[in-house]
Amino acid sequence: MRRTLLAFLTAILLLAGFSLPAYGAEDPGGRLEVLIRMDYRESPAVLLERGLTLTLTGRESGSAAVTLTGKDTKESLDLGGGAGVDITYLNPEDAPVGGNDRVGFVMLAFSGLPSHDEYTVSLVGKGFSSFTSQKLAVDSFVPRLYVSSHSGGFALGDINGDRVIDQADLDQVSGAQGTSSAASDLNGDGKVDIVDLALVHHNMLQAGREAEVFEGALVVDGLLEMDTVFCAEKVQAQVRGTFGRVEGPLSALSGLAYEGYEIHMGLGGKLPALVGRGNVYGTYIHGVFDADGVADAVLEALCRKKGADPAQLGAFDAAAYKERQYDLLAQSVRENLDMELVYRAMDKKV
Ligand SMILES: [Ca+2]
Ligand SMILES: [Ca+2]
């Protein structure tokens, strides 16, 4: 939706003769986010012993390995340009790890990647199956790769160290039940028991899955200060409020009331109703032009910019128009359905 609105608004402003802001010729570099969900939650110290290593490989830029050794680390990568990565350990509630928290997620945010290239992400770690992603382009969106036992099949369960979870692992851990064999103690708790067996059995079924990739922020550095993370969660909400301070050509919207609804996959965080920069504006809100005065303010701003007289604009009541359309729909339904039958059915609560 954001892309549609952005394109729509950009088109309006271009057609109206607004010049878009100029951008530097310098490539700001591609971005990529990798979110690894740790389905079996372990402490940062235990995770450290697993030597989790992510390798990012560009088709042309070579590859760089990152060892997930701790929380909140920043590293530069030998991929050319200013490539780097921020690594954050998050607890299961998506907050930074602290105290006795176990690790729920590991988030890696790559930046400064040569953006003409496409990349694959691979992961290895002691006890884990190996994982290699599909190819990811970083030139138009910021992809977010979501890796877990279900998404990509990156999971604990490799007992014999061949990075595959299969019957051989299940046989080995079955045979060692009740012992303290370190070789078969998958979760390192000092005993080989049903937990180790269950992990192997459950995760051997997840192999071969392709990881999910969500389109993140549109790569328009310098256009709008907003990020969207596309994910499985769908936002559906009626919204109303008042525009805050709006800068630029649409400053007349400042303080006006708006209403509408949000319906989109993904999260934009706490964003104002209208995000603007220079001559470009974006919003998450459907119907944002419908509230009294909003469309008028936009059109008047365009008229002033073009030297036209806003007084020449005709009046249009969007709310009344909607009501008329609902009435027409109701009339059409009444004319084409046996309403007596419908009412009788309603009375009988059929
Ligand atoms: Ca194995
Ligand atoms: Ca164990």
Ligand closest to Cα of 171 equals 1
Residue 333 — pLDDT band, cuts 50, 70, 90?
very high
Whether 34 and 164 share a structural domain: yes
Exposure string of 7-34, with b = 16+ CB inside 10 Å and e = fewer, is eebbeebeebebeeeeeeeeeebbbbbb
Whether 57 and 199 share a structural domain: yes
Question: What's the 192 CA to ligand 2 centre distance in angstroms?
Answer: 4
Query: Over the stretch 64-93, which tens digit does the pLDDT of each residue have?
Result: 999 987 656 777 888 877 888 999 898 888
Three-state DSSP string of 93-120: CCCECCCCCCEEEEEEEEEEECCCCEEE
Residue 220 — pLDDT band, cuts 50, 70, 90?
low
Supply the DSSP symbol for 72.
S
Query: Over the stretch 237-257, which tens digit does the pLDDT of each residue have?
Result: 888 999 988 888 899 999 999
Question: What's the 157 CA to ligand 2 centre distance in angstroms?
Answer: 11
Query: Over the stretch 187-211, which tens digit does the pLDDT of each residue have?
Result: 999 999 999 999 999 998 877 788 9
Q: Is residue 156 part of a domain?
A: yes
Whether 194 and 116 share a structural domain: yes
Whether 239 and 111 share a structural domain: no
Q: What is the pLDDT of residue 161?
A: 94
Whether 50 and 172 share a structural domain: yes
CA distances from 270 to 5, 183, 260, 267, 284 (A): 18, 48, 16, 9, 11
User: How far is it, in rounded angstroms, from Cα 170 to Cα 199?
Assistant: 9
N- to C-terminal Cα separation, the chain: 40
Query: What CATH number corresponds to the domain at position 116?
Result: 2.60.40
Bigger pLDDT: 98 or 222?
A: 98
Query: Over the stretch 3-15, which tens digit does the pLDDT of each residue have?
Result: 444 444 444 444 4
CA distances from 88 to 18, 103, 252 (A): 41, 10, 42
Ligand closest to Cα of 129 equals 1
Instruction: State the angle between helix axes of 167-175 and 194-203 in degrees (0 to 180), rounded to the nearest 10.
Output: 170
Whether 205 and 262 share a structural domain: no
Please provide the DSSP assignment of 248-308 as one string: GGGGGGTT-EEEEEEEEEEE--S--S-EEETTEEE-S-BTTTTSTTHHHHHHHHHHHHHT-
Whether 90 and 191 share a structural domain: yes
Q: What is the pLDDT of residue 174?
A: 96
Q: Is residue 164 part of a domain?
A: yes
Ligand closest to Cα of 193 equals 2
Mean pLDDT, residues 342-348 taken together: 85
User: How far is it, in rounded angstroms, from Cα 212 to Cα 264?
Assistant: 18
Question: What's the 151 CA to ligand 1 centre distance in angstroms?
Answer: 19
Domain boundary among 214, 237, 256: 214
Question: What's the 200 CA to ligand 1 centre distance in angstroms?
Answer: 9
Ligand closest to Cα of 200 equals 1
Residue 225, token pair as written in the block: 């200060």
Ligand closest to Cα of 130 equals 1
Question: What's the 131 CA to ligand 1 centre distance in angstroms?
Answer: 13
Query: Over the stretch 99-150, which tens digit does the pLDDT of each residue have?
Result: 899 999 999 999 999 988 999 999 999 999 999 999 999 987 888 899 998 8
Share of the chain above pLDDT 70, in %: 83
Question: What's the 140 CA to ligand 2 centre distance in angstroms?
Answer: 45
Q: Poorest-confidence range of 17-26, 167-176, 223-232?
A: 17-26
Whether 291 and 162 share a structural domain: no
Mean pLDDT, residues 202-223 taken together: 74
Containing H/E element for 175? Answer: helix 167-175
Whether 172 and 49 share a structural domain: yes
What domain count does the chain have? 2
**Residue 325 clears pLDDT 90, i.e. is over it:** yes
By DSSP bridging, strand 30-42 and strand 141-147 are parallel
Domain boundary among 180, 214, 248: 214
Domain residues for the domain of 305 are 2-23+222-316
Please provide the DSSP assignment of 121-149 as one string: EEEE-TTBPPEEPPPEE-SSEEEEEEESS
User: How far is it, in rounded angstroms, from Cα 277 to Cα 9?
Assistant: 12
Q: What is the pLDDT of residue 218?
A: 56
Residues present in the chain in total: 350
- Looking at every residue in the chain, the average pLDDT score rounds to 83
Q: What is the pLDDT of residue 25?
A: 42
Q: What is the pLDDT of residue 313?
A: 78
Residue 52, token pair as written in the block: 């989790």
Query: Over the stretch 55-72, which tens digit does the pLDDT of each residue have?
Result: 999 999 889 999 987 656
Domain boundary among 214, 246, 279: 214
- Which residues are close to ligand 1, an ion, with C-beta < 5 A? 158, 160, 162, 164, 169
156: which residues sit within 8 A by CB, 6+ positions away? Answer: 39, 40, 127, 128, 149, 186, 187, 199, 203
Q: What is the pLDDT of residue 310?
A: 84
Q: What is the pLDDT of residue 20?
A: 40
Are the beta carbons of 224 and 275 closer than 8 angstroms? yes
Q: What is the pLDDT of residue 290?
A: 84
